[in-house]
Amino acid sequence: MTNFQRARSEEQREIRRQAILDTTATMLEEMPASAVSLNELSRRVGLAKSNVLRYFESREAILLELLDRAWQQWIADLPVLLDAGIDQAASVDRRTEQFATVVARSLAERRVLCDLLSAQAGVLEHNVSAEVAARYKRAAVANVADIAALAHRHLPELGNSAPQLIAAMIMAIGAVWTHSRPSEAMLAAYQADPSLTAFKLDFVTALQEMLATLTAGTIARASL
């Protein structure tokens, strides 16, 4: 366990903040956000829990910052993926399907991002101050705008509705992620009664279908 001394300068404080963020990020690679505790984080980073709370007001504040980091990393990778996966000469229907496919597949290995998005409204936006909530929401608005610009580049038929599509898309990602990870009890129920497996979702397939439907519907409404 690292033996931290009290930070004496802004530079030292920033080093502590980054150590807390990086340690939490490592924990998220090992466990879902719901299992990340301040006690275990404090033990790993080598600080008393009260000292961790000097840098972040709550566990949720740390996770919100990491959600924004993961979101921006995804946005940085999307342009190349969309350029490679969408044929600009194709019909709007074809490009809609390609857009949904690229987005869904790009998220398949981003477990941390999907996990945090699924917890965003119900967990992470609670137990934080208005200041932290507003700072996160401003970052989220900027992230949505960046993805909307990418979507509009490949699907200009979206018109001014691209931001609304992306906002709905983000909510869909969290919902599909949650429902595609059933509990042990639900898995046992599926095994015992195969007629229930209609409710068992594959994340990529379900998300791709939902995003294609959302995108097609948004384009149809934009043309009215």
C-alpha to C-alpha distances, 215 to 93, 107, 167, 175, nearest whole angstrom: 10, 17, 11, 17
What is the total count of domains within the chain? 2
Residues 71 and 180 placed together within one structural domain of the fold: yes
Residues 38 and 92 placed together within one structural domain of the fold: no
CATH value at residue 81: 1.10.357.10
Task: Give 92-102 pLDDT, tens digit per residue.
Answer: 999 999 999 99
Q: Which of 31, 56, 81 is the last residue of a domain?
A: 56
Q: How far is CA 155 from the centre of its chain?
A: 23
pLDDT at 202 over 90: yes
6-15, 56-65, 81-90, 93-102: range with lowest mean pLDDT: 6-15
Looking at residue 9, its pLDDT comes to 74
Residues 73 and 182 placed together within one structural domain of the fold: yes
CATH value at residue 46: 1.10.10
Residues 117 and 194 placed together within one structural domain of the fold: yes
What's the average model confidence in pLDDT over 111-139?
A: 96
What's the average model confidence in pLDDT over 136-158?
A: 97
Residues 143 and 178 placed together within one structural domain of the fold: yes
Q: Which of 56, 77, 103 is the last residue of a domain?
A: 56
Looking at residue 138, its pLDDT comes to 97
Task: Give 148-163 pLDDT, tens digit per residue.
Answer: 999 999 999 999 999 9
Residues 49 and 154 placed together within one structural domain of the fold: no
Q: Which of 11, 29, 56 is the last residue of a domain?
A: 56
Q: Which domain holds residue 45?
A: 1-56
Looking at residue 199, its pLDDT comes to 81
Residues 163 and 63 placed together within one structural domain of the fold: yes
Closest CA to 169 of 127, 128, 218: 218
pLDDT at 3 over 60: no
Looking at residue 79, its pLDDT comes to 97
On the 0-12 / 13-18 / 19+ scale of CB atoms within 10 A, 165 is buried
Q: Residue 7 — very low, low, confident or very high, per pLDDT cuts 50/70/90?
A: low
Residues 103 and 187 placed together within one structural domain of the fold: yes
Residues 8 and 112 placed together within one structural domain of the fold: no
pLDDT at 5 over 50: yes
What's the average model confidence in pLDDT over 118-124?
A: 95
Half-sphere exposure of 89 (CA within 13 A, CB side): 0
Residues 79 and 10 placed together within one structural domain of the fold: no
Residues 33 and 139 placed together within one structural domain of the fold: no
6-10, 19-23, 213-217, 219-223: range with lowest mean pLDDT: 6-10
More confident residue, 5 or 10: 10
Looking at residue 4, its pLDDT comes to 46
Average pLDDT over all residues of the chain: 94
Percentage, residues of the chain above pLDDT 90: 88
Task: Give 48-78 pLDDT, tens digit per residue.
Answer: 999 999 999 999 999 999 999 999 999 999 9
C-alpha to C-alpha distances, 208 to 5, 85, 100, 105, 132, nearest whole angstrom: 49, 14, 5, 8, 32
Residues 74 and 182 placed together within one structural domain of the fold: yes
